C-alpha cells in the first residue's frame, strides 16, 4: 500500500497544476483559519511537523504566514519537490525542511516537537492508533497534535459501493448527490474511489465516538470541530432533526447520522518548555536515524548521515529521503528494467513500437495512445509471481463516442482479459502475468477521437507501466 501512496501522491501533487493550485489555496484558507481560532490552545508552533504533507502547501502557510519553523513530511519525495513551484507561483520567501518519511516510523527524536499536524491522512492507515503512538512519542510534554478533514463514519448508509468525485460521477449519481440522497446508498466518503483505484486501502470505520475515545486515550486535553455532511435537501432535513434530538442542540447527533469530517486539537500531558525552541540552522538535532534511531549529522554537502550506522540521506532537490532503508529501496527503485515511469527521463529506452510524444508537467507526464498498438519491453528484476500494473487517464472524449473505453493488453503474445473504463479520470489496471525473464507488451485502446485543431486520433493516455509483486 505504501507503493500505491507514493504513486498516487506523485501524480496528485501537481499532475493538473491549475486545479491543484486552486485546491491548495482553498485548503490553506480553511486550515489557516482553524489554526488561528485555536492558537490560544496551541500556544507554540515551533518546531512543527506536518505528516502526509503532499506538496507541503500547508507547511508553507505556517512558515510564511504564521512565521514559524518546521518540517513537511510525506512518503512521496517527488510530491515534496514540487514545493519549489509553489514558492515561485505564490511568491513565498521561506520553506519548511522537506522530509520523505513514514508516519509509522517518524525520523524524529522522542519529545522533540511542539506541534504536529496532519490532514486527510489518518484514514489511509488501517491501524490509526499506531500513528497516534508515533505522534505522542515525538511530541514534547504539552505539545499539540492537530488532525483535520478525517472522515466520520455515517450511520445512515447502505454502503453499496465506493463513489467517485463529483466531476467523474455519472448523471444519475450527480442527481442523487444534488438532492442529498447519494450518501444513503454509497459508502460515506465521496471521492475515495480514486484512492482505492490506486491500491490505497481506506479506513472509514471511525465513528465520532471512536475518534473521541482515541484522543482521550493518548492526550490530556482537547478542542474539536465537526463538519457535518449536508449535500442537499435530504441531508438538510436529517441534520435539522438530529439537532433537535441532540440534548445540546449541537452537531454531535447529526454527525453520527450523516457522517462528515472531524478536526481535533489534542494536548499531550505535561508542562510545555518555556519559550520558542531553537530550530535553524541545526534542524538535524531534532531528528534520528530511521534505521537504528541514532543521531544524524549534516556534512558540507548537505547530506544527513547517521553517527551510529551507515545510513545516509543526501539533499535531493531540497528533499531528504528518511524512509527505512529496506522500504526506500522498494519505494524508490530508480531506473529499473521492470518499470517505465513517464515522468523519468530515459524511459523511452524500453519502447519498441510507436508512442505519442511526452506531454504534461511534473509528476503528471504521460503519453497518449492512438488506435495503433503501442509496444514496450520490461525485464523482471525480482523473483516470485508478478503482475502487470498500468496507470493512466480516461479523457471525457473517450466516453462521448457511444461506448465505454477499452484497453487490450498482450503480454508475450498472450491476451489479458479486456479492461473496460466507464468513468472519466485516473485508472490503474492490474493483471497477473506468467513467469518469464522478459515481458514484451502490446497495448491498444479504443474508441478513437480527436479534438481540433489537434489532428491526431487519440484514445486514453498512460503515465506508468511496471511489474509488481503479486499479492
The CATH number linked to 360 is 2.60.120.260
Domain termination residue (choose one: 225, 252, 267): 267
Q: Is 272 contained in some domain?
A: no
Q: Is 308 contained in some domain?
A: no
Q: What are phi and psi for residue 469, nearest 5 degrees?
A: -65, 140
In a shared domain, residues 254 and 386: no
In a shared domain, residues 82 and 171: yes
- The whole-number pLDDT of residue 41 equals 96
In a shared domain, residues 347 and 263: no
Q: Is 314 contained in some domain?
A: no
Q: Is 98 contained in some domain?
A: yes
- The whole-number pLDDT of residue 277 equals 63
| Domain total of the chain | 2
Domain termination residue (choose one: 224, 239, 267): 267
The separation between the first and the last C-alpha atoms of the chain, rounded to the nearest angstrom, is 11
Nearest to 406 by CA among 372, 446, 440: 446
In a shared domain, residues 382 and 254: no
- The whole-number pLDDT of residue 14 equals 52
Domain termination residue (choose one: 234, 267, 300): 267
Domain assignment of residue 411, given as a range: 339-469
Q: Is 276 contained in some domain?
A: no
φ/ψ region of 299 (left if φ > 0, alpha if ψ in -120 to 50, else beta) reads: beta
In a shared domain, residues 365 and 455: yes
- The whole-number pLDDT of residue 85 equals 85
Encode burial over 98-108: b for 16+ CB neighbours within 10 A, e otherwise. Answer: bbbbbbeebbb
* Paired strand residues for 444: 408
- The whole-number pLDDT of residue 130 equals 96
Q: Is 322 contained in some domain?
A: no
In a shared domain, residues 349 and 262: no
- CA angle, 104 then 28 then 131, to 5°: 15
In a shared domain, residues 345 and 227: no
Q: Which regions of the chain are under pLDDT 50?
A: none
Q: Is 274 contained in some domain?
A: no
In a shared domain, residues 228 and 139: yes
In a shared domain, residues 237 and 351: no
- The whole-number pLDDT of residue 197 equals 62
Q: Are 388 and 467 in contact (CB under 8 A)?
A: yes
In a shared domain, residues 245 and 352: no
- The whole-number pLDDT of residue 425 equals 81
CA 52 to each of CA 5, 16, 329: distance values in angstroms, whole numbers, following the listed order: 10, 19, 20
CATH number of the domain where residue 93 is located: 3.40.50.150
- The whole-number pLDDT of residue 280 equals 64
In a shared domain, residues 14 and 113: yes
In a shared domain, residues 352 and 245: no
Amino acid at each position: 500500500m505504501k507503493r500505491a501512496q507514493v504513486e498516487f501522491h506523485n501524480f496528485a501533487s501537481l499532475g493538473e497544476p491549475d486545479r491543484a493550485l486552486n485546491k491548495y489555496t482553498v485548503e490553506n484558507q480553511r486550515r489557516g483559519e482553524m489554526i488561528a481560532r485555536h492558537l490560544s490552545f496551541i500556544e507554540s508552533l515551533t518546531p512543527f511537523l506536518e505528516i502526509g504533507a503532499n506538496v507541503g502547501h500547508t507547511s508553507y502557510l505556517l512558515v510564511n504566514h504564521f512565521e514559524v519553523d518546521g518540517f513537511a513530511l510525506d512518503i512521496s519525495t517527488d510530491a515534496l519537490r514540487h514545493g519549489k513551484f509553489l514558492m515561485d507561483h505564490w511568491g513565498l520567501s521561506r520553506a519548511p525542511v522537506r522530509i520523505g518519511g513514514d508516519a509509522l516510523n517518524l525520523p524524529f527524536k522522542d519529545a522533540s516537537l511542539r506541534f504536529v499536524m496532519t490532514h486527510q491522512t489518518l484514514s489511509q492507515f488501517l491501524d490509526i492508533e499506531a500513528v497516534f503512538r508515533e505522534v505522542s512519542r515525538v511530541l514534547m510534554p504539552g505539545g499539540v497534535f492537530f488532525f483535520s478533514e478525517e472522515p466520520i463514519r455515517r450511520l445512515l448508509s447502505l454502503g453499496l459501493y465506493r463513489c467517485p468525485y463529483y466531476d467523474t460521477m455519472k448523471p444519475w449519481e450527480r442527481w442523487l448527490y444534488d438532492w442529498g440522497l447519494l450518501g444513503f446508498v454509497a459508502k460515506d466518503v465521496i471521492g475515495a474511489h480514486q484512492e482505492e483505484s490506486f491500491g490505497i486501502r481506506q479506513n472509514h470505520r471511525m465513528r465520532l465516538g471512536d475518534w473521541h475515545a482515541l484522543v482521550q486515550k493518548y492526550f490530556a486535553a482537547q478542542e474539536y470541530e465537526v463538519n457535518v455532511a449536508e449535500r442537499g435537501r435530504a441531508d438538510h432535513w436529517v441534520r435539522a432533526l438530529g439537532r433537535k434530538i441532540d440534548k445540546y442542540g449541537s452537531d454531535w447527533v447529526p454527525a453520527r447520522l450523516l457522517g462528515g469530517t472531524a478536526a481535533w486539537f489534542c494536548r499531550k500531558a505535561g508542562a510545555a518548555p518555556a519559550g520558542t525552541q531553537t530550530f535553524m540552522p541545526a534542524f538535524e538535532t531534532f531528528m534520528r536515524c530511521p534505521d537504528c534511531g541514532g543521531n544524524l549529522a549534516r556534512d558540507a554537502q548537505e547530506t544527513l548521515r547517521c553517527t551510529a550506522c551507515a545510513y545516509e540521506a543526501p539533499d535531493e532537490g531540497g528533499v531528504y529521503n528518511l524512509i527505512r532503508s529496506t522500504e526506500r529501496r522498494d519505494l524508490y527503485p530508480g531506473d529499473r528494467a521492470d518499470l517505465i515511469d513517464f515522468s523519468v527521463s530515459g524511459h523511452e529506452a524500453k519502447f519498441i513500437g510507436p508512442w505519442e510524444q511526452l506531454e504534461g508537467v511534473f509528476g503528471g507526464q504521460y503519453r497518449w495512445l492512438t488506435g495503433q498498438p503501442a509496444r514496450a519491453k520490461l525485464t523482471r528484476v525480482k523473483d516470485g509471481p508478478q503482475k502487470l500494473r498500468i496507470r493512466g487517464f480516461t479523457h471525457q472524449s473517450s466516453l462521448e463516442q457511444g461506448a465505454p473505453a477499452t484497453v487490450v493488453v498482450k503480454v508475450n503474445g498472450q491476451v489479458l482479459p479486456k479492461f473496460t473504463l466507464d468513468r472519466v479520470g485516473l485508472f490503474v489496471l492490474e493483471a497477473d502475468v506468467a513467469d518469464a525473464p522478459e515481458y514484451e507488451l502490446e497495448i491498444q485502446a479504443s474508441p478513437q477521437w480527436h479534438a481540433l485543431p489537434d489532428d491526431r486520433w487519440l484514445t486514453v493516455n498512460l503515465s506508468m507501466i511496471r511489474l509488481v509483486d503479486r499479492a
